[in-house]
Structure 1
Amino acid sequence: MALSPEVYYAGVDVGTGSARAAIADYQGNIIGLSERPITRHELKENHITQSSTEIWDAICYCVKTAIQQSGVDSSKILGIGFDATCSLVAINEKSNEPMAVGPDFDDSLENIILWMDHRAEIETNEINETNDDCLKFVGGKMSIEMELPKMKWLKNHMPKNMFNECKFYDLADFLTMKATGKETRSFCSVVCKQGYIPNGITNRNGWSKEFLHKINLPELAANNFAKLGGLDCVNGKYLTTGETIGPLNAKSAKMLGLTTDCYVGSGVIDAYSGWIGTVAASTNLPIPELIEQDKDKSGLSKATGRLAAVAGTSTCHICIEEKEVLVPGVWGPYRDVLGKSYWAAEGGQSMTGALLAHVLSKHPAYAELGIMSESSNLSKFEYLNSRLENLKKIRKERSVVALAKNLFFYGDFHGNRSPISDPNMRASVIGQSMDTSLDSLAIEYLAACEFIGQQTRQIVEKMEESGHNIKAIFMSGGQCRNGLLMRLLADCTGLPIVIPRYIDAAVVFGTAMLGAVAAEYALKDREGNEKPGTFAIKNPLLEKKFALDSVPASPYTAPTATTSVTSISAMNQRDGFPFPLTQIPRLTSSLNLTDSDDLDNNNDNSSSEGIISFNPSSTPQQQSLSDKRKNLPLQQEESVSDRLWRIMTQLSSTGSVIFPSDITHPDRKLLKTKYAIFLDQISTQQKYRDMVSKTEDAIASYLSI
């Protein structure tokens, strides 16, 4: 069953610092992309908030702008997907107005507690001290970054009358509610972040009244758990990834510049959308282990063994299995969050993107780095990679990796998410000198990259020890452009690394895939009914009134593609990608993303050649929608999970593979030794903290006498 050349799909992604929207066609080409920043506030340490009002406004701007860029009629966009960070949204239960989440409870616009907010340390510990059975499905302990501890904090600190008026959403579920007017919740949100257990796993089906009473949140259990979304098929509805909620309501359709014929897919957490947008990709070089696995599998089961590493402010490591696999310190297993009856596991590293930025900005040579990289017309990371290559020659070292052989960097500045699940972990560096030169910055940056690779190995090993069988890591995010980091990830883990076509846009591309699934439902519902939806905007590229009145000018969002939608193959042509095993190349990100003679703009999905074209004339010859409906009946025998996989494979392009060096390579041997030191740094820090804690307890006991 082929996708229609006359139907388009929208994806919306809300990250930590920005919202973005993409329009995709039936071949998986992104033909419109827009991004707008969103603010976050930290009025008090570890209290980090955002505004759902600001986020929705940013989404509407981005969708309209992406439609304008694509040049397609908005009436032909029949599906839209939403993803967002796993942040907690508080809304008034009766009025649907925002509710303040503090520390200033008079500011109702600040109604989101961001995922990285760490205010609920006491509440998290109290929840984990219950040792409730449900905790085994979050790696044994609930994380401070999850949403139930945040709700408990609100009960303890919010004025009582305000808490009683609240209902709560994961941000992705709030967005689908805003779009459709329906209170439908996603398994992805409630299972992963709110303690929901799907039916049939335990004798507690769904929300646990006993658990909520045990942690002193009986209010959440009242009225059949209405504040959390209700009971499935009683006063609530819950869907898995790949299922569809229904059409946009009239108000949201108008705000988004779409029509009420556009259907909304069940929402997902942003990292899970990154999994959707990457793991179905074919590869430019064969990965024998995946080929062997796929011989005996079909549908979504082919996605097992493929770990998605979705790298942004933090990095999430997601894979699925056909059976329940419990991994200490790794979130999950979560059933039904990625396809019906499949189990997902989620490891994670807090603040990886922020880690590299922090290492650079805090070094005395940072200003010099800015001058040198700018004068070289390179990014800071590109310049450092080149400087390391030069430094290797000057110091006559065996390799770049050997430059940091006696620097032992442990980088959990913001606590550990996986696999030791310890929010009190902090960074440590052994082997630093008083050197403040640019060369010392380059080597410290190298050590930080190595830390990311070593911690990824630790997460993968814990997963495999428990029963996962990971065969490849499918990367996404800006870190993919960093050749040094990708080489270290391959050599630390010993696994192939797959770089996607859409580096930064993999997450929003994943939600566009969910939009494609929703569009099939829309087509089915439109059979025999030619009545158009409301608020269609014809040819928005030419509608000056639409462009001027509905899409305000923004210096942040350019009217052309950004580097985040660059095809990896465009970089391949310029830099000899994939990486040779014996070198760490420079990857350019300074591409001119206008139509140019030196780049192939062919968007055929059978190849990832070229960059994305924003020329409406490049759209393939369209066939009539009525003909397409005849060709696109929803197959009754096709499961929800297999439909999702079909869409993923049809829209995914080819990724490029970086294979690890041979196990006998000197760098592999050095990294293995340093991995043992990495593990020792963890246990030593925990030992030291325990020694200090016992001393402080003894002092407190003495002073109380």
Structure 2
Amino acid sequence: MDRQHHGNMPYRQPSRQQSRQMSVDPHNEVRVIQQHYIGIDVGTGSARACIMNEKGDIVGLASEAIGMWQPETGYYEQSTTNIWRCICDSIKRAMQQSNIDANSIRGIGFDATCSLAVFREDTDEPVAVTGPKFDNQDGNDRNVILWLDHRPVEETKKINATDHNLLRYVGGQMSIEMEIPKVLWLKNNMPKELFDKCKFYNLTDALTHLATGNETRSYCSVVCKQGFVPVGVDGSVKGWQGDFLTAIGLEDLCQDDFKRMGGVNGVNGHYFTAGEKIGVLSDKAAADMGLVAGIAVGSGVIDAYAGWIGTVGAKVNLKGDSISSDFPKNHVSQAFTRLAAVAGTSTCHLAMSEKPVFVNGVWGPYRDVLIPDYWMAEGGQSATGELLKHVIETHPAFNEAYSVAESFNANIYDYLNEHLREMQEKADAPTISYLGRHFFFYGDLFGNRSPIADPDMRGSIIGLSSDKSIDSLALHYYATMEFIALQTHQIVESMNTAGHVISSIFMSGSQCQNDVLMSLMATACDMPVLIPRYVHAAVVHGAAMLGAKAASTDNDGKSEALWDIMDRLSKPGKAVYPGKDEQEKKLLKTKYEVFLEQIAQQKRIRTNIDEAVKGWKR
């Protein structure tokens, strides 16, 4: 086009060839069908489905409550039959919300809790995990031992007594939450003829199995929760460690090249990194979900790891040292500086590194679980949301405060934050933190996961008074938030001392909406805290990105890099920066020293008392 002769017409670049699917309606109008991806997140209490468009926007979101059975104290069971129905119902409802065309779905990604699912090897039917008969008497197909099930106490002790080298990769000790102790419990309690017919999956892999019919496993599942050491790491030849399984009494699983656990990669099994295409949606699964068969299915991940995918790629213009100046801003190495904190009842901390970094009380390092050749570390706080809830609800002023909050149509946390601001105003205090200057709360009521890795740690308070008012409740609540922030600082400090380079925290979960907590976290850790666009849906958003990666697979099996997908589909986040008040920084630094002292003192007191009562019997 000659622009001089057509000055009143805007100049346009020749449009790029349209690569998306086109369809023609009866009126001969060309209509672009936008591509969509489905994310499935199976948490402890519910299954969620989100529909994500090709720009990364969530256009449909639905959830269904999952059934849970507790046959006795400490035992928690679920059913893949029930979970699958909840997934399918959630997908149908999410699709209906924006009237999404089933033909526009290109990929599906799954995440789930690190629970153990059991099926029969010969018939592929669920095997009940409920003793003593294991006979599915109630017909509910209770074939899942949930992550929080604590039945294999003795089995866990036996495993850790081996002191096997692979325990280095789980923070020195295998947790009772992991799956090998549960498999060993089943061997010790099931009839032998039934156990011999069982095959075992992490729940995520069980779901991709139900979706595709394939027996593939994800590195995220087997490396993080089943004692699989990737080939080449510490001389690992087959991934599964036969000497370890034999030492703990699971030598049966070594038969046929570990077939019942997923086999050996490239021999009788297939293992994939997050989001790699493992197959396509089967006719049966498509019919269950109301979708079209043949949709690409990505290798799944454990739920917290989907939180990493859904948060750390967020576009954000961080100031100062928080962005590594050595690389372009969208380079994968930026991930090394970003700690993902996936916060709910507890908080999981995930960090990536280029080389293996060993940290006491932090699980990992795990190679290949999210991005090939990179390593992940997983720390955690046993209780954060649950701790806040416990402290508030057990205070004498809770009922009064709850009633007042309801009258203002506010939740209890927003009300208490406002009450703290009023107390600050009334006392003419420089900051909210100043109100709690003489109150010291150590909150490991549920034991410590990271970085002390001591399940016997408990809580302590210095500064307790007889005050039963809402002011006292607000102070206890503030001190709990301060504890969460100081412990996060301790975890980050431990990881960085060991070799990580964390300089920012990317949060997800409902705690993100607590502005007082987020500000405290940023100031206590002296680094920015990033809050994602989808506060409540970061995990399922991450699962949808796995679907996008699977859908990008070409005929040679190559797909777009996961970091590039995260960079492209993540939404801008909001940054909360550390406070600038030097006096507040000084106060929190001193309180951190007291926090460390409370830990040392508790350990010392416990040792002294244990020594004093040694050998004391009735």
My pick for the range that moved more, 31-40 or 273-282, is 31-40
- Partner residue, 2:396: 364
Structure 1 contact 144–423 (Cα < 8 Å) conserved: no
- Partner residue, 2:283: 250
Deviation at 1:277, TM superposition (A): 0.7
- Partner residue, 1:235: 268
Deviation at 1:102, TM superposition (A): 3.5
Structure 1 contact 220–226 (Cα < 8 Å) conserved: yes
- Partner residue, 2:152: 120
- Partner residue, 2:574: 656
Measured in 1, the distance between the counterparts of 2:342 and 2:516 equals 17
1:306 aligns with one of 338, 352, 375: 338
- Partner residue, 1:25: 53
- Partner residue, 1:586: none
Structure 2 contact 344–510 (Cα < 8 Å) conserved: yes
My pick for the range that moved more, 65-74 or 642-651, is 642-651
2:364 aligns with one of 332, 344, 359: 332
**1:261 has 2:294 as partner:** yes
CA distances 1:630-660 after superposition (whole Å, capped 9, x unpaired): xxxx896xxx6x6211111111111010111
Q: Provide the secondary structure at the position in 2 that maps to 1:47.
A: coil
Q: Provide the secondary structure at the position in 2 that maps to 1:464.
A: helix
**1:147 has 2:147 as partner:** no
Measured in 1, the distance between the counterparts of 2:351 and 2:416 equals 32
- Closer, same or farther in 2 for the Cα pair 1:384/1:149, shift >3 Å? same
Deviation at 1:271, TM superposition (A): 0.7
**1:184 has 2:219 as partner:** no
Where does the alignment leave 5 or more consecutive residues of structure 2 unmatched?
Answer: 1-15, 21-32
- Partner residue, 1:69: 97
- Partner residue, 1:81: 109
Measured in 1, the distance between the counterparts of 2:609 and 2:199 equals 41
Greater relative contact order structure (CA < 8 Å, 6+ sep): 1
- Partner residue, 2:75: 47
Q: Provide the secondary structure at the position in 2 that maps to 1:81.
A: strand
Deviation at 1:381, TM superposition (A): 0.5
Residues 125-136 of structure 1 correspond to what in structure 2 (within 5 A)? 125-136=157-168
Measured in 1, the distance between the counterparts of 2:426 and 2:277 equals 59
Given the two structures, how large is their TM-score scaled by the length of structure 1?
Answer: 0.79
Structure 2 contact 545–566 (Cα < 8 Å) conserved: yes
**1:509 has 2:537 as partner:** no
1:393 aligns with one of 418, 425, 431: 425
CA distances 1:406-451 after superposition (whole Å, capped 9, x unpaired): 2222222222221111222222333222322222111111111111
Q: Provide the secondary structure at the position in 1 that maps to 2:76.
A: strand
Aligned partner of 1:137: which letter?
Y
- Closer, same or farther in 2 for the Cα pair 1:696/1:87, shift >3 Å? farther
- Partner residue, 2:590: 673
Structure 1 contact 23–70 (Cα < 8 Å) conserved: no
Measured in 1, the distance between the counterparts of 2:73 and 2:602 equals 24
Structure 1 contact 293–302 (Cα < 8 Å) conserved: no
Measured in 2, the distance between the counterparts of 1:271 and 1:162 equals 33
Structure 1 contact 7–78 (Cα < 8 Å) conserved: yes
- Closer, same or farther in 2 for the Cα pair 1:435/1:159, shift >3 Å? farther
Structure 2 contact 40–48 (Cα < 8 Å) conserved: yes
- Partner residue, 1:643: 561
Deviation at 1:469, TM superposition (A): 0.5
Deviation at 1:107, TM superposition (A): 6.5
2:188 aligns with one of 120, 142, 156: 156
- Partner residue, 2:30: none
Deviation at 1:299, TM superposition (A): 4.5
Aligned partner of 1:301: which letter?
S
Deviation at 1:290, TM superposition (A): 4.3
CA distances 1:200-232 after superposition (whole Å, capped 9, x unpaired): 112223000001111222122222112211111
Counting aligned pairs with the same residue, the percent is 50
Residues 449-598 of structure 1 correspond to what in structure 2 (within 5 A)? 449-521=481-553, 524=554
- Closer, same or farther in 2 for the Cα pair 1:255/1:17, shift >3 Å? same
Deviation at 1:67, TM superposition (A): 0.8
Measured in 2, the distance between the counterparts of 1:143 and 1:293 equals 38
Structure 1 contact 3–26 (Cα < 8 Å) conserved: no
CA distances 1:118-141 after superposition (whole Å, capped 9, x unpaired): 333332222222221111111222
My pick for the range that moved more, 153-162 or 181-190, is 153-162
**1:275 has 2:308 as partner:** yes
Aligned partner of 2:106: which letter?
L
Measured in 2, the distance between the counterparts of 1:689 and 1:504 equals 40
Given the two structures, how large is their TM-score scaled by the length of structure 2?
Answer: 0.90
Q: Provide the secondary structure at the position in 2 that maps to 1:341.
A: coil
Measured in 2, the distance between the counterparts of 1:116 and 1:677 equals 32
Measured in 2, the distance between the counterparts of 1:80 and 1:17 equals 21
Structure 1 contact 83–270 (Cα < 8 Å) conserved: yes
My pick for the range that moved more, 497-506 or 445-454, is 445-454
Q: Provide the secondary structure at the position in 1 that maps to 2:616.
A: helix
Aligned partner of 2:543: which letter?
T
- Closer, same or farther in 2 for the Cα pair 1:168/1:498, shift >3 Å? same
Measured in 1, the distance between the counterparts of 2:154 and 2:600 equals 23
Deviation at 1:175, TM superposition (A): 0.7
CA distances 1:612-631 after superposition (whole Å, capped 9, x unpaired): xxxxxxxxxxxxxxxxxxxx
Measured in 1, the distance between the counterparts of 2:120 and 2:506 equals 40
Q: Provide the secondary structure at the position in 2 that maps to 1:339.
A: coil
- Closer, same or farther in 2 for the Cα pair 1:367/1:446, shift >3 Å? same
Aligned residue pairs: how many? Answer: 585
Q: Provide the secondary structure at the position in 1 that maps to 2:533.
A: coil
Structure 1 contact 360–445 (Cα < 8 Å) conserved: yes
Measured in 1, the distance between the counterparts of 2:557 and 2:127 equals 43
- Partner residue, 1:221: 254
**1:6 has 2:39 as partner:** no
- Partner residue, 2:125: 97
- Partner residue, 1:629: none
- Closer, same or farther in 2 for the Cα pair 1:252/1:355, shift >3 Å? same
Structure 1 contact 75–261 (Cα < 8 Å) conserved: no
Structure 1 contact 185–238 (Cα < 8 Å) conserved: yes
- Partner residue, 1:606: none
Where does the alignment leave 5 or more consecutive residues of structure 1 unmatched?
Answer: 526-633
Measured in 2, the distance between the counterparts of 1:301 and 1:192 equals 22
- Closer, same or farther in 2 for the Cα pair 1:317/1:107, shift >3 Å? farther
Moved over 6 A (4+): none
Measured in 1, the distance between the counterparts of 2:614 and 2:77 equals 34
**1:200 has 2:232 as partner:** yes
Measured in 1, the distance between the counterparts of 2:585 and 2:110 equals 41
- Closer, same or farther in 2 for the Cα pair 1:411/1:40, shift >3 Å? farther
Deviation at 1:273, TM superposition (A): 0.5
Deviation at 1:695, TM superposition (A): 4.7
